[in-house]
Amino acid sequence: MQESNKSKNHLNLSEFADTVLTWQKNHGRHDLPWQKPATPYRVLVSEIMLQQTQVATVIPYFQRWMQAFPTLDSLANASEDEVMALWQGLGYYSRARNLQKAARYIVTELNGEFPNELTAIEKIPGVGRYTAGAIRSFAYDAYGPIVDGNVRRLFCRLFGIEGQATSSAVNKALWQRAEELTPQTDNRRFAQGLLDLGATLCKKRNPDCYSCPFSNACTAYQENRIEELPTPKAKKLTPTKQGHFIWLEDDALVLEKRPSKGIWASLWSLPEVLVAPKGAKLKGKFKHVFSHYKLEAMVWQLPVPGGAEKLFEALGEEQARYESSNQQITRITSREEFLALGLPAPIRVFIEENWLGTSKPSE
């Protein structure tokens, strides 16, 4: 990991916070729904949702979530199906489970009192170093250094920090910078300013360097290395995997609940099998891209005498994707039942497009 000395000669670090604060006041984002009021719980929900997800996508999900679960208690007491149904479409479903674990931890272990110190906040399930700093900054307006993807990109370009952003050396350098630069006061606006600079100006592609208050001191801009910093990840080939799902010929839609770990954990889905069942007809196909592989899925229509209860018996344990003794099976007969369950987005779309005859949910 290398860091350019050029930025140190052209950037007065003592003025860094003032520059961020002034820019945020005049050009930053001030009307995000979780900013008013910025309670610890609302900040927690927003920060977990914003992991791997754009602000514009998160806003309607956040608003629906707060209507359904306005307090820690309401989330802690909700059923898993209620939680997953509201989260469907956002992806990375472990975040939803972690949010509920966090709520239950605060309610049961902390008597419902949200902690305000960094070390205590980091003990909350699903809360890491960045999220703890964000909660302390936004909810308490207190010292809470943050480094997320936006800040990482900003700092790497500004200070000429080279090396893979995920390496321990680069990560250490970034957090050291964050700790040094974060002021002791006005932390809410400072943290928002860092995020806004990264999200609106110092973007991954086509950054608006001319509008950046740090362009004269930015190593990447001055050395014409915008595309080189942060150091790009080595490109990897994304493997393709096949998946096989069952559309049971029944008088209702038959779904199984997936295991609590793995892809689409705890969501309801068409039953998955290891290979195409004998005697099944291809009903349709769909594709879906995960972070680490591409799924090419085939849905097989299968007659099963005896209905859903005989599904795993008909398939045989060697074909069932999961042990039948651990699986929950449900039969859906109405639109209301269907919408109340959390399903993976591609499975939901396929079902909506292919529900047959009178079994289709009523409008």
Which residues does residue 302 pair with via DSSP β-bridges, in sequence order? 248
What are residue 304's phi and psi, to 5 degrees? -125, 105
Sheet arrangement for strand 272-273? 272-273, 240-249, 294-303, 281-289
CA distance 354 to 176: 54
For the chain, strand residue ranges (E) read 240-249, 253-257, 268-269, 272-273, 281-289, 294-303, 328-332
Q: How far is CA 316 from CA 19, 239, 252, 257, in A?
A: 66, 29, 22, 18
Distance of CA 254 to the CA centre of its chain: 28
Tell me the one-letter amino acid at 320: A
Cα–Cα dist 84/346, whole Å:
15
Q: Is 222 in contact with 9 (CB distance < 8 Å)?
A: no
Catalytic residue numbers, as ranges: 47
State the Cα–Cα distance between residues 288 and 240, nearest whole angstrom: 10
**How many angstroms separate the CA atoms of 315 and 321, rounded?**
10
Torsions phi, psi for 307 (to 5 deg)? 80, -160
Structure tokens at 237: 């080939």
Q: Helix 80-87 to helix 55-68 angle, to the nearest 10 degrees?
A: 150
